[in-house]
């Protein structure tokens, strides 16, 4: 299975040492560059990811960062193992400069508050649905459905998962990656590639904790309800409150904590 690697390992216990091989989640660099269909090349840098669904990963990343507004903006993909070149005829230098500025600022911790984050990211997206309602029982059953389809995690214990569910708890898309942001980007890219307009009528269930970046990606896609098995950060809650997104954490054993948008969750 793609994304897995066998490595030598030793198991130590009170009974002694057992030698063998273990299966781990693969992690390697992906270099991403953009061209405007001429000789001008815009390198975006490298991201560490679990190989597999690289096309979806790049689509989701470019969309989340506002470099593209739809899959139709992309003319061509040129993929060679760990290198991706995306042809976007309408790309402008400003889009690339803004992206590089955001990456540089967040990486260097040059920002620290909600207002700074909002101004830096220029968070926007489709209008969030005010009519969508998810029952707590559907959320609880969705956790089992997500877990049953986390194939990388089942093999390695080392992958995050992001699942898109409809209001009845049907799993529409699921993606996994060693990086939590990559799992979300792969999910968004998968939906955009499918050309199905389903974001506004669905919710996302995430296997780990929620950072502000994941809330930003969900907001950009038009997801009104973002649910996690783990904890949200304070900034994730701030951004969700500011943009009217429903944020739920600590979802387990029919219990959950709603931090914003309580009206979209029915008991």
Could you give the residue numbers annotated as active site? 109
147 strand-pairing partners: none
Count the neighbouring beta carbons within 10 Å of the beta carbon of residue 11: 11
Answer whether 139's CB lies under 8 Å from 115's CB: no
**What is the distance in angstroms between the CA of the first residue and the CA of the last residue of the chain?**
39
Phi, psi of 4 (to 5 degrees): -115, 150
Count the neighbouring beta carbons within 10 Å of the beta carbon of residue 131: 8
Structure tokens given for 127? 């209008």
Determine the length of the chain. Answer: 267
Q: What angle, rounded to 10 degrees, do the helices at 114-121 and 93-107 form? A: 160
Answer whether 63's CB lies under 8 Å from 189's CB: yes
- C-alpha angle 118-124-127 in degrees, rounded to nearest 5: 135
Task: Say how far apart CA 36 and CA 117 lie, in whole Å.
Answer: 29
Q: What angle, rounded to 10 degrees, do the helices at 234-243 and 114-121 form? A: 60
Answer whether 257's CB lies under 8 Å from 249's CB: yes
232 strand-pairing partners: 210
Place of tokens 């904890």: 231
């Amino acid at each position: 299975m793609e994304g897995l690697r066998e490595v030598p390992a030793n198991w130590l216990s009170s009974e002694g040492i057992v030698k063998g091989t273990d299966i781990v989640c693969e992690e390697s660099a992906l270099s991403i560059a953009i061209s405007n269909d001429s000789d001008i090349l815009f390198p975006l840098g490298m991201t560490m990811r679990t190989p597999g669904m690289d096309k979806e990963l790049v689509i989701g990343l470019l969309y989340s960062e506002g470099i593209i507004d739809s899959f139709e903006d992309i003319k061509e993909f040129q993929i060679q193992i760990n290198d991706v070149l995306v042809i976007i005829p309408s790309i402008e230098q400003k889009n690339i400069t803004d992206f590089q500025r955001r990456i540089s600022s967040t990486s260097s911790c040059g920002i620290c508050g909600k207002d700074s984050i909002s101004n830096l990211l220029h968070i926007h997206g489709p209008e969030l649905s005010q009519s969508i309602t998810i029952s707590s029982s559907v959320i609880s059953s969705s956790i089992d459905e997500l877990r049953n389809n986390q194939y990388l995690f089942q093999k390695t214990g080392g992958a995050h998962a992001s699942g898109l569910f409809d209001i009845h708890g049907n799993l529409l898309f699921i993606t996994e990656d060693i990086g939590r942001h990559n799992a979300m980007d792969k999910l968004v890219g998968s939906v955009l590639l499918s050309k199905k307009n389903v974001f506004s009528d669905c919710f996302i269930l995430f296997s780990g904790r929620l950072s502000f970046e994941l809330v930003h990606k969900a907001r950009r896609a038009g997801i009104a309800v973002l649910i996690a098995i783990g904890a949200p950060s304070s900034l994730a809650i701030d951004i969700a409150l500011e943009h009217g997104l429903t944020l739920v954490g600590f979802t387990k054993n029919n219990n959950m904590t709603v931090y914003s948008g309580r009206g979209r969750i029915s008991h």
